Amino acid sequence: MKKPLFITFLLIAFFASIIYGGLSDNQQAVKYYSTGVSYHKKKDFNNALMYYNAAIKKDRKFWQAWLGLGICYYSMAKYRNARLIFSYVLSLKPGEPTAKKYYDIMSPGSRKNAAALNTPKSKGDLMWRSACLPGMGQFYNGEIAKGYIYSLGFIASIAALIKYTLDENDAVAAYNNTNYDYADKYKAAQDAQSKIIVPAAVAVGIWSISVLDAYISGSDGKPSSALKAVEIKYDRGITVAWNIARVEF
Amino acid sequence: MLAVVVLTACSGLKRNNPYDPDGSAYKGVTYKGDINYPAGTSITAMIYGTTGLCLAGYSAASGYCVMRLEGTITDYVGSTGDTPGHFRYIQDICADDSGDIYAVDNKNIMQVITPTTDAMSSWTMTNVTTTVDKLSITYLSNHIYVSSNIDKQIFEYSTTGAFIDSVNLSFTAYGPFTPGRIFKSANHIYVVNDASKNQIVEFTPNLSQDGLYDMQDNIYDASVNGGLLELIASGAVYNVDENMVLSLKWGNFGVGPGMVFNGELIACDQTTGDTYLLDGQTIKRFGE
């Protein structure tokens, strides 16, 4: 009776080693990892993070768990964490293609970086930036041309507003401190005051359009149909996870 | 937010310039431009007579004389000399109710000009000591009043030269007094202390002292306008009543041509109410 049972166990261990071969020697870590992957596939990044972390705690050299963790952070737009983790993955497994790919696109100066960071940002993130300075939300969202148009337009209108305000102050002072040509100087002060309205209106307009544009361009936080699934395969050709990343390569 | 900050930096525009006739804070005085007078003229006295603005002083064209400005034409009366019909260091002029102009120079002779014909006559100012240093004259109620700094007296004459009265004015409650510029209101005459021009002594027409004032500013000349006295100081004009109670200070507001920088003489057109100021080398006209 014992012999068939033992053979069965060996077979199970063999197939398990095929399926999870090269992952980790720590079965508990593998279990956490596989749970993390399943959450990851469901885009439940918080739970995925928790299980990846648990797996890493069990086996600190478990680079696949580190990779999953990095991709999770990337998907959550926490690029700084993601970059550090991918760097660590590359130190654990030099040349690992997936980690290298992510690491490269997040490296400063990388052209791909802009594309990577072009991940749709939340409406709130874009709007408060645009509210602070028109164009900043667009820059943050990777819309460089729009960012320049809004920011330079706003700065130019504010500069004009400041100039016209100074002119208006001078004209009003000229009227208040004159003792001749009252009508002409009062008219000049009125004209100077009315001139202020134009750049003020332009500034307010640009500000409003920038914030509105940020609202339209921003993501509402729901999964997008445009999200692209990235299949990550590890060595031995075994698919260890279907990681979903918000990235458009 | 920046736009709001900038907009709040705008000056509020209200039409309340005190010299602006259309302003809500209008004081009733508006600068109306400058009056041209012959170049090379040094003005020592200015009145507004029946024929218009009348100046006394030195002219490059006629020497010491009286100049009546009639539009763009200047009528010169008299010339430099030491006999009647001529002037030397002409010092003051005044006009009576008929329009005759009285002028004094460094002689004890009153010279009278009839403006319509420019005819001149004269009479001697009795009791005025020669050699004269500074004389100032004014007309009130058919009498001519003369102040003399050397005599330290005020003399009263009829318009024909009859001596009526005189009063000594060498000391007041403020201390020593040197009679200088003399001017009138409707019912009083006033004498400025030439050594301390902020002090003014008030007399009744019969030369009884009726008041002593410290104006807190040096007063150089005065004229009656609309029942009020207009006193000119170097940087302002004071509208005061007969008791020197201030009702308006003007000419000291703002910058530019309508400002009084170096006021010396003042004359008023009783018909229009316009005021003429000699400010340095410029005669400025003000009015409502």
Peptide bond into B131 cis (omega under 30): yes
Backbone angles phi, psi at B156, to 5 degrees: -120, 130
A160 — contact with chain B (CB < 8 Å)? no
Does B4 map to a domain?
A: no
In whole angstroms, what separates CA A209 from the centre of its chain?
22
| Predicted confidence (pLDDT) per residue in B209-265, tens digit | 999 999 999 999 999 998 899 999 999 999 999 999 999 999 998 888 899 999 999
Whether the Cβ atoms of residue B31 and residue B250 lie closer than 8 Å to each other: no
Does B9 map to a domain?
A: no
Strand-pairing partners, residue A219, are A122
By mean pLDDT, which of A15-29, A235-249, B87-101, B129-143 is the weakest? A235-249
User: A26-119+224-245 in CATH: which number?
Assistant: 1.25.40.10
Does B186 map to a domain?
A: yes
- Please answer yes or no on whether A165 and B10 come within 8 Å at the CB atom: yes
Total domain count, chain B: 1
Does B35 map to a domain?
A: yes
Q: How far is A182 from chain B (nearest CA, A)?
A: 6
Does B5 map to a domain?
A: no
| Predicted confidence (pLDDT) per residue in A158-195, tens digit | 999 999 999 999 999 999 889 888 999 999 999 999 99
Nearest to B13 among A177, A189, A207 (CB): A189
A158 — contact with chain B (CB < 8 Å)? yes
Q: Is A109 left (phi over 0), alpha (psi -120 to 50) or beta?
A: left
Among candidates B130, B44, B140, B129, which has minimal Cα distance to B95? B140
Does B91 map to a domain?
A: yes
Does B268 map to a domain?
A: yes
Q: How far is A93 from chain B (nearest CA, A)?
A: 52
Domain containing B134 equals 15-287
Whether the Cβ atoms of residue B24 and residue B279 lie closer than 8 Å to each other: no
Spell out the residues 6+ positions from residue B47 whose beta carbon is closer than 8 angstroms to its own: B53, B54, B93, B94, B95, B101, B223, B267
**Residues of chain B found within 8 Å of residue A189, distances taken between Cβ atoms:** 13
Question: What is the domain-level CATH number for residue B70?
Answer: 2.120.10.30
User: How many alpha carbons lie under 13 Å from residue A29 in its C-beta half-sphere?
Assistant: 20
DSSP strand pairing (B79-80 vs B86-87): parallel
A188 — contact with chain B (CB < 8 Å)? no
Tokens of B105: 């120079």
ipTM: 0.78
**Residues of chain B found within 8 Å of residue A196, distances taken between Cβ atoms:** 7, 10
Among candidates A136, A163, A132, A129, which has minimal Cα distance to A150? A136
Domain boundary assignment for chain A:
26-119+224-245, 123-217
A155 — contact with chain B (CB < 8 Å)? no
Backbone angles phi, psi at B226, to 5 degrees: 60, 35
Does B163 map to a domain?
A: yes
Note the pTM of the prediction, 2 decimals.
0.69
Q: How confident is the model over A14-25, as a mean pLDDT?
A: 56
Q: How far apart are alpha carbons A220 and A201 in whole angstroms? A: 30
Chain A, window 210-249: residues with a beta carbon less than 8 angstroms from a chain B beta carbon: none
Q: How confident is the model over B74-95, as a mean pLDDT?
A: 94
Residue of A179, A198, A208, A211 best to disrupt the B interface, most CBs of B under 10 A: A179
